[in-house]
Amino acid sequence: MHAAAPSLPLTIFIIAKNEADRLPRVLEAARTLSRDIVVIDSGSTDDTVARAEALGARVLFNPWPGYGPQKRFAEEHSTGPWLLNIDADEWLPPELVREIRALFAQGEPDRDAYEIRIAEIFPGEEAPHPLAYALAPVRLYRKDRGRYSASPVHDRVDLAPGARVGRLKGTIHHFSVRSIGDQIDKLNAYADQQVADLAARGKSLAAIRIFTEFPLAFLKAYIGRRHALRGIYGVITAMNFAFFRWLRVAKDYERRALARKAATRDQKERP
């Protein structure tokens, strides 16, 4: 029987809500890197908390404040000098685990933060398409050199001036879509959050985009993000992405129209 690999000086943190179906696989992979895993739950009604605790994670509850604030809360409850953030629908494949282990094998890594490629995997796929579109945000970083943005909708690490950034070769597998219906529900909720963020910042989207947003966003996803490579499912997900982009414009227009109507009514009612 082989001894377990030593835990790295690393806290892995995950934000979650109703992820009992996906979280165990995520945690099992994460445990091969570190035993210090923090799950921030925002009010699950399934077995998310019990399954996370059964796999050795520290589970803390925090009502949902938005993406950035929730990840900041996780940072504040992380103890390691290094932090690795993964989402509850993201999985660390063995080759990426080995690469991260090799990074720490000689002691302190020579960069302050590392970007990691994240590629989406659609239902029915076991691995990312070789030409799949991927983002590469900072996900592995020194706790004293980076912190998540306070934005409730923009999910990014803000680094200290002069921070040295590297990039890993491996890829996080992102199983973001359970089903078409689940994706639509998720995108609708995210559109609401984006509109609320625009209102809080005193910003708005041009009404003309109600006519242009959908076709341009579809082309962005289908061609620019290479959903065309994924067959019929690629068409569906590109349409959903375009609808989400259009929906946030429509909801922002509705918000401003209702505000104008309320302001006009208030003026008429004044003595």
- Alpha-carbon distance values, 271 to 6, 259, 266 (Å): 75, 21, 10
Look at 231 and 73; give whichever has higher pLDDT: 73
| Domains located in the chain, CATH noted | 10-174 (3.90.550.10), 180-269 (no CATH)
Look at 154 and 99; give whichever has higher pLDDT: 99
pLDDT at 186: 87
169-208 per-residue burial string, b: 16 or more CB within 10 A, e: under 16:
ebbbbbbebeeeeebeebbeeebeebbbebeeeeeebeee
Cα–Cα distance measured from residue 49 to residue 23, given in angstroms and rounded to the nearest whole number: 10
Residue 2, pLDDT > 70, answer no
pLDDT at 124: 80
pLDDT in tens, 206-216: 999 999 999 99
The two structure tokens encoding residue 18 = 């109703």
pLDDT in tens, 156-205: 999 999 999 999 999 999 998 888 888 899 899 989 999 999 999 999 99
Per-residue pLDDT band for 73 (boundaries 50, 70, 90) equals very high
**pTM for the whole thing?**
0.86
Between 9-18, 212-221, 257-266, the lowest mean confidence (pLDDT) is in: 257-266
pLDDT at 4: 59
Task: Specify the length of the chain in residues.
Answer: 271
pLDDT in tens, 191-210: 999 999 999 999 999 999 99
Average pLDDT over residues 92-115: 95
Residue 3, pLDDT > 50, answer no
